[in-house]
Structure 1
Amino acid sequence: MRPAYSHNAITPPANWQQLPWGDWLCQQISAGLDNWWPKLFGYHMVKLGPLAPELNSRLCSIRHQMVITASGGDLWGDLDDLPLQCRSVDACLLPLVMDFHQDPHGVMREADRVLVEGGHMVVVGFNPVSPVGMGLLSPTCRQRYPWNGRMFTPNRIKDWLGLLGYQIVGHEPLVYSSLLWSPDRFLWPQQWMAQQTPSLASVYLIVARKLAVPLTPARPLWRPKKRLITSPAAMGREAVGQRRDSR
């Protein structure tokens, strides 16, 4: 397994049009997010990365929403060093952010830092073990989006979230196209994979909830029995009487 951190800088796509069939891909991801927006509650939501502004989140009940990117948006800032206070947002959206960042661990830890307990982290990513992963076999494809990114499996993302203390509440496959040709081609294999092998989706959506950590440690259920001493003076007199009787 290759390390998550990359020593080479990775430039994320500035917009969806830089991805193959980007407008169609944005529509598919937006449709998948529509099923989850009504289930997120709170006061503040942050959307990270340059691809976040074009994702429609009108169905979300969280009204105050802001976009943070390294080159523009509502706030400017590095995704692994967000200009937000700890525990200040209720939901965090990372659309294809982990795939195009030099330190995906740092991005996830920073998103965890600003999330409140009980908040939700929504991660969208490319699955290398899928039809889109075929492009990784071509040296030509590896020079362009999205194959010049990292692509982590959904199970690996779940492991990272589990280490941070998150509960996976949703995992949905979104796209089965290889993006090497038009998504309208080879519809029958895509439909077959959606029914038989949903884990091999090219794009996945993971929703995780941050668990609250108890402030006080849980007490053990079993304790050794201790002898109850009602009066130390009485215990002393009892010991003196036993010594007199022994004489």
Structure 2
Amino acid sequence: MPDCKSTAQSLSEWFATPQGGYVLAREQAYFDRTVSDIFGFNALQLGLPEHDFLRASRMPLRFNGASQAGADVQLCCSELPFDCDCLDLVLLPHILEFADQPHQILREVERVLMPEGSLIISGFNPFSLWGMRRMMGCKQGYPWNGHFINLLRLKDWLALLGFEVAGGRFAAYAPPLHTSKWLDRYAFMEKAGDRWWAVGGGVYLLHAVKRVPGMRLIKPQWNDGLVSKLLPVAPKVNNKITQKTKTE
């Protein structure tokens, strides 16, 4: 296994390395494909302002929000400065595993999303070769210093907030090697992983939709005794009319 140390001081710096670029290319492809089919007016990407994961979106207003300079809106992810039910799409590219309050971020996202609004999350899979490397004690630098969140746990969090999973996939099945040369040699693992080891990708991408229960029709409490008295009336009248017609 290559050296565990990473000198990257941010996730963007790590994405600029061959190892990070390998992951970035696969995540960008998923974001491009998914956001192009989501319609609405307002789309927000939280974090990573150096990378435009909304570039394929058709929404008229697309912007980035982050605490660092370079973002369209400087903000705190756990306290979003937006009205309730005002956004149609929110992206969380590796935000939760590097946040102190991931639950609070999800609650804020649920608050600002419109009913039937979409949320797309990318995260590192702890049950993969990438997660295994971190479990072996490689926790220096990005992305190894993050808290890799179990996908099943993330789905539970989303379900509690009223989200329904609409799609997703795993990617980056090759080992976390440092050089492009070695990563290319393991390129065959992408197709093999999708087919034979579907949940073993180094990263997962999840598309969830905010569901809001509709109105419930309140039915009247019928008086069974009164109904039973009224219902036979019509048949009796009809029978009398029928008998009179036959007599005539």
TM-score by length of 1: 0.78
CA contact (8 A) 1:125 1:152 kept: yes
CA contact (8 A) 2:11 2:142 kept: no
5+ residue gaps, structure 1: 1-11, 230-247
- Residue 55 (structure 2) pairs with residue 58 (structure 1): yes
Q: Give 2:10's aligned residue.
A: 14
Q: Give 2:119's aligned residue.
A: 121
- Residue 94 (structure 2) pairs with residue 100 (structure 1): no
Q: Give 1:195's aligned residue.
A: 195
User: Residues 224 and 178 of structure 1: is their aligned pair in 2 closer, same or farther, counting only changes over 3 Å?
Assistant: farther
CA separation in 2, counterparts of 1:43 and 1:53?
22
C-alpha RMSD of matched pairs (Å): 2.3
Q: Give 2:140's aligned residue.
A: 143
User: Residues 16 and 169 of structure 1: is their aligned pair in 2 closer, same or farther, counting only changes over 3 Å?
Assistant: same
Q: Give 1:48's aligned residue.
A: 46
Report 1:1-247 matches (<5 A). Answer: 14-19=10-15, 21-49=19-47, 51-72=48-69, 73-139=71-137, 141-182=138-179, 183-214=183-214, 216-219=215-218, 225-228=223-226
CA contact (8 A) 2:129 2:202 kept: yes
Give how far 1:188 is off: 3.8
User: Residues 28 and 13 of structure 1: is their aligned pair in 2 closer, same or farther, counting only changes over 3 Å?
Assistant: farther
Give how far 1:192 is off: 2.3
**Stretch deviating more after TM superposition (122-131 or 14-23):** 14-23
CA separation in 2, counterparts of 1:177 and 1:81?
37
Q: Give 1:238's aligned residue.
A: none
Structure possessing the higher relative contact order (Cα contacts under 8 Å, 6 or more residues apart): 2
Q: How many residues align?
A: 214
Give how far 1:78 is off: 0.8
Give how far 1:189 is off: 4.1
Counterpart AA for 1:208: A
CA contact (8 A) 1:95 1:124 kept: yes
Give how far 1:224 is off: 6.7
User: Residues 13 and 209 of structure 1: is their aligned pair in 2 closer, same or farther, counting only changes over 3 Å?
Assistant: farther
Q: What SS class does the counterpart of residue 149 from structure 2 fall into?
A: coil
Counterpart AA for 1:107: I
- Percent identity over the alignment? 28
CA contact (8 A) 2:124 2:203 kept: yes
TM-score by length of 2: 0.78
Counterpart AA for 1:176: Y
Q: What SS class does the counterpart of residue 39 from structure 1 fall into?
A: coil
CA contact (8 A) 1:18 1:145 kept: yes
Q: What SS class does the counterpart of residue 205 from structure 1 fall into?
A: strand
User: Residues 22 and 148 of structure 1: is their aligned pair in 2 closer, same or farther, counting only changes over 3 Å?
Assistant: same
CA contact (8 A) 2:10 2:142 kept: no
